[in-house]
Chains A and B, each alone.
Chain A
């Protein structure tokens, strides 16, 4: 049986077991969230050997070179030594500025990162509570016009981090944040390219950043946002987005509800991705952003690709969470 040495302590690892699964099985508490290689909350560093390529998928070059890897995607052949500490700082303190309810289910959290914090609109960060509980949340703020980091957090029934954020997090509290991650970003090189953005629930957060980034750069191509939710509580920033659509002829905002109630006559009654695919049959030359429900993201990625969008032009952020 291969041996895993983590923070100088040895553990027996089953063949083909990931580093994360092995540590959790031995009762060692380490940061993790999605357990599927998406969120990077399980970032660690190898001490003695290069990690398997699959465990470095999606990491920045600077991290790869220093042998950082994702513990949930790392099942090395033989013995392996890992640590949480390393030459690259992966967590920074931030202070909570405000926690504000945008609806009963959605909270807007604003953070003041200590010191300079470079990111691009649409990226995400990992939030780490003092006990180590770590979850990824997308950035809705704009780096150059807003001096705070903005997150939109949906409350999940029995969700550990999201309930805590909704019920207990207070202005003035300190929380740790990771460096920004991901490629769900606007690229100013093609200002005429049509953009399709589909988000469900808090999948709006990164899209809200991307859209405002695009408009700020003077994007002239059409921009279509489809925001979907099962009910009204998940449709938020409606007035802000309607205002943006009024001010910018090329920006179209389509709020969608699965099952509308009385008073919902102002929205489209269809799933957001279905409404989008029905209206835009030919996606050749489009850039596509898909965020939120993992199944929606997966399906829509295939469908927009089949409708003609190039794979390299499709940005997908599935909000993957692990089963408890």
Chain B
């Protein structure tokens, strides 16, 4: 049997390793850091973990509606396609840093891209 994407990436330990690097990249990225201001770091990290679990193809707790609800307040702050691009870019850089193969990175980016419309509230 072929392994799922989540298994190939290394499952939960891989998610945990990725959260720390990914969240750090997001906080130091001027394009997106303002969306994190004043947010409790632990709570934010646990949301990142849920997000990464989903884009790793893991046991997802997110629905399209959750995605929309979770980002509604950010759309009011100006969240748009360019920020989603930044997220996907940081995600790719994180995985590269962890030594993940390009082919798997592309799959992860594909899943992240597939929720773009939900995140930005298109179709809601």
Contacts and interface: CB of A to CB of B under 8 A. Distances in A.
A311 B27 contact: no
B18 to A, nearest CB: 12
B28 interface: yes
A302 interface: yes
B66 interface: no
Interface string B50-85: 000000000000000000000000000000000000
A58 to B, nearest CB: 10
B45 A311 contact: yes
Nearest to A314: B41
A308 B25 CA distance: 11
B37 to A, nearest CB: 10
Nearest to A316: B41
A311 B42 contact: yes
Contact of B20 (A301, A302, A311): A311
B42 A306 contact: no
A305 interface: yes
B47 interface: no
A305 B28 CA distance: 10
B24 interface: yes
Interface residues of A, number: 7
Interface string B21-34: 00110011000000
Contacts of B45: 311
A310 interface: yes
Interface string A287-324: 00000000000000110011010110000000000000
Nearest to B37: A302
Contacts of A301: 41
B28 A306 contact: yes
Contacts of B20: 310-311
Nearest to B20: A310
A88 to B, nearest CB: 25
A301 B39 CA distance: 13
A264 to B, nearest CB: 35
Contacts of B27: 302, 305-306
Contacts of B42: 311
Contacts of A306: 24, 27-28
Contacts of A305: 24, 27, 41
Interface string A48-71: 000000000000000000000000
B41 A311 contact: yes
A284 to B, nearest CB: 10
A41 to B, nearest CB: 20
B16 to A, nearest CB: 9
Contacts of A308: 24
A306 B42 CA distance: 14
A301 B23 CA distance: 14
B101 to A, nearest CB: 24
Contacts of A310: 20
Contacts of B41: 301-302, 305, 311
CB-CB nearest 7 A-B residue pairs: A310-B20, A311-B45, A306-B28, A306-B24, A306-B27, A311-B20, A301-B41
13 contacts: A301-B41, A302-B27, A302-B41, A305-B27, A305-B41, A306-B27, A306-B28, A308-B24, A310-B20, A311-B20, A311-B23, A311-B41, A311-B45
Interface of B: 20, 23-24, 27-28, 41-42, 45
Given A305-B24, A306-B24, A308-B24, 4 more contacts: A301-B41, A305-B27, A311-B41, A311-B42
